[in-house]
Structure 1
Amino acid sequence: MKDSFGSRVRAIRQSRSWSQQELSMRSGISTPHISSIERDKRHPSLDYAQRLAAALGVPLHVLCDPHTAYRAPNMRNSPDELPLSMQNFILNESAMPYLEAAQRMATLSEAEASFLRVVIELLAQRKCLMNSDKENRKP
């Protein structure tokens, strides 16, 4: 892998057969900005560097340290592989908070993820009970 941050972003992006536009969609960073980063014309802020690493599915140090050898895990090649309803959801700007939350949840430890699943299940049960109570009160 090459020595600069931008060249490492490009190499991982290309290894996934992603366009800059796809990385843009996954990271929330504009395509021209990604192009500038990859050509080493701009240096990303810490926030952008973290977003690029998360979108690429690699730890941040992999993009920053030229001496780190890293084999990125396989990821979906394209949102086109998703059902149309999911593609529309991902492309909808109002979906960003949900996508960011899902991205953060993907990096949780197994114990944290297990705890979160229990909390979500309890909240879902509570909502079902509340909906059931509302229906039972209707005349």
Structure 2
Amino acid sequence: MNPSFGTRVRRLRQERSWSQQELSLRSGISTPHISSIERGKRFPSLEYALRLAESLGVPLSALCDESSTFQPPKMKSSPYELPLYLQNFVLNESATPYLQTAHRLSTLPREDRDLLTLMIDLLSQTRHVIPAPMATH
């Protein structure tokens, strides 16, 4: 990794209008550690680099490769910009697996994403009604 890794983390964080605390909450990495990475004083482990990339919604190459011209997707700056019912969902700890799955889905190639979305829609429309067991007297 090179010193510009931290510069790219800072740029992406600031593009989202996130504080280091916000990135810390999203990535599970302490605020002082993020600050050190952004200033080039520390280099993250592979695990931390992956967590930062995932939190920022970019592939790891966007943080590591100087020649990467990846254009990150537009993201909300904060859950508080969402409608109240979505805020409650996003800020609820039990929503984490769903949000992680949605993020992974969003990083797939378009054809794969469209196919999986169609499958999820079809499955959610299917109602399996299991008849109650017949009583025997």
Quickly name the TM-score band, shorter chain normalised: 0.7 to 0.9
1:35-74 equivalences under 5 Å are 35-74=35-74
Question: Structure 2 vs 1, CA of residues 73 and 88 (structure 1 numbering), >3 Å: closer, same or farther?
Answer: same
Percent identity of the aligned residues?
A: 58
1:9-48, Cα deviation, whole Å (9 max, x unpaired)? 0122112211112222333333333223223333222222
CA RMSD of aligned residues (A): 2.7
Question: Structure 2 vs 1, CA of residues 130 and 29 (structure 1 numbering), >3 Å: closer, same or farther?
Answer: farther
Question: Structure 2 vs 1, CA of residues 103 and 19 (structure 1 numbering), >3 Å: closer, same or farther?
Answer: same
Write out the 4+ residue segments of structure 1 that deviate beyond 4 Å after TM superposition.
none
Question: Structure 2 vs 1, CA of residues 83 and 47 (structure 1 numbering), >3 Å: closer, same or farther?
Answer: same
Give the corresponding residue for 2:105: 105
Q: Distance in 1 between matches of 2:78 and 2:117?
A: 27
Runs (5+) with no aligned partner, structure 1: none
Q: Distance in 1 between matches of 2:79 and 2:95?
A: 14
The residue type equivalent to 1:130 in the other structure is V
> Contact 1:3 / 1:66 at 8 angstroms: preserved in 2?
no
Runs (5+) with no aligned partner, structure 2: none
Point out the more displaced range, 83-92 or 95-104.
83-92
1:94-123, Cα deviation, whole Å (9 max, x unpaired)? 222111111101011222122212321332
Q: Which has the bigger relative contact order, CA under 8 A and spacing at least 6?
A: 1
